[in-house]
Copies of this chain bind each other. A is one copy, B any other.
Amino acid sequence: MTRSREIQLAARPTGLPGPETFRLAERELPPPSQGEVLVQIRWLSLDPYMRGRMHEGKSYVEPFRLNEALDGGVIAEVIESADPGFAPGDLALAHGPWGEYAVLKAAGLQKLPRGSRVPPQAFLSVLGMPGMTAWTGLNRIAAAKAGETIVVSSAAGAVGSLAAQLAREKGLRVIGVAGSPEKCAQAVADFGCDACLDHRGKEVKQLSKEIAEAAPHGVDIYFENVGGTTLQAVLPRMNNFGRIALCGAIAWYNDPSAAPPASHVWLPIIQKRLRVEGFIVSDHVAFRGDFLSEVVPLVEAGKILWHETVAEGLDAAPEAFVGLLEGRSRGKQLVRIR
């Protein structure tokens, strides 16, 4: 038997999650059955979409269950294997609990290459879900072409910073939007943005004016992660036949009623003949090979930068998750378990 501590969902939050949302618990794990492995969780990925899973209603992923461990992307080290494909010491990308140990089906694990030059947690960020999300939105949803102008929201965030750099590599003009002067400076210095606008404390009109100045030929693509003021400011700047790759709307996850009237986003779609397409990276796993073959060389050549915010230890996960929702993290939010 292995004892493992884990973070459970104690209550479904309204608004921002608080201490009452989470519970630290301990449980005993059985040994792995045939086809399973016992793993030690090394890294947890914290992602904005997890806020949606805290609601009871059915969404595109299963809601978290009350009084069970939260779960998500993890980097796991195999401790004990009952599957011929894995041996102790193997590192793998997996879906696992916010916990210290887990018994997982081996079939769900993607083994990391041994002796790779990139650190294992990169497979939770630039080469994992955020990177694949950026690549999918840019290529498969928005069909980005050299010479076009793209606005990337959360341009210093885990997905946005990669979308911006991949767009730059493709030859687009890249306008970032981010939530502080520091993030904006970083988006320009590190993440390939030709300009980056700070949306904090700005009226829609002012932000929209700044976008117009930064995008003199209008906006062909909006990589949408936030909703809120940024969406409202971008819409009037969209060119006819523009595309919106709709990846998230973090501004509205905690308080959907804070949004402007739906007509403000619906009517411009007609007027400008926009194509707005929602996407979820897990639908596009069949293209993971294409993604890796394009992005791994860029990473190895040092052409793609990414940042990590690392919370130390399982106990720090709830606070780190709230910080992520509040925009306090920088780049990819990770938790190092040990």
CB-based contact A248/B270 at 8 Å: yes
What chain B residues lie within 8 Å of A60 (beta carbons)? 240, 270-273
Assembled-state Cα–Cα distance A252/B312 (Å): 50
Per-position 1/0 for A196-235, Cβ under 8 A of B? 0000000000000000000000000000000100010000
CB-based contact B260/A261 at 8 Å: yes
CB-based contact B59/A271 at 8 Å: yes
Q: 10 closest pairs, A vs B, by CB?
A: A256-B263, A259-B261, A252-B263, A269-B278, A270-B278, A259-B262, A259-B263, A276-B276, A262-B265, A275-B277
Give the interface centre of A240, A252, A259, A279 by most chain B CB atoms within 10 Å: A259
Contact size class for A?
35 or more
Looking at chain A's contact residues, is the secondary structure mostly helix, strand, loop, or mixed?
mixed
CB-based contact A265/B267 at 8 Å: no
Would A269 and B276 be within 8 Å (CB), given that A257-B261, A261-B260, A263-B227 are in contact? Answer: yes
Residue from the list B264, B272, B277 in contact with A278, Cβ < 8 A: B272
Give the interface centre of A252, A269, A272, A280 by most chain B CB atoms within 10 Å: A269
Residue from the list B256, B267, B270, B276 in contact with A256, Cβ < 8 A: B267
CB-based contact A280/B273 at 8 Å: yes
Expressed in whole angstroms, the minimum distance between the Cβ of A222 and any Cβ of chain B is 12
A103 at the interface (CB under 8 A from B): no
CB-based contact B279/A267 at 8 Å: no
CB-based contact A249/B261 at 8 Å: no
CB-based contact A227/B262 at 8 Å: yes
CB-based contact B246/A269 at 8 Å: yes
Q: 5 interchain pairs (CB within 8 A)?
A: A246-B269, A252-B261, A259-B264, A270-B278, A270-B280
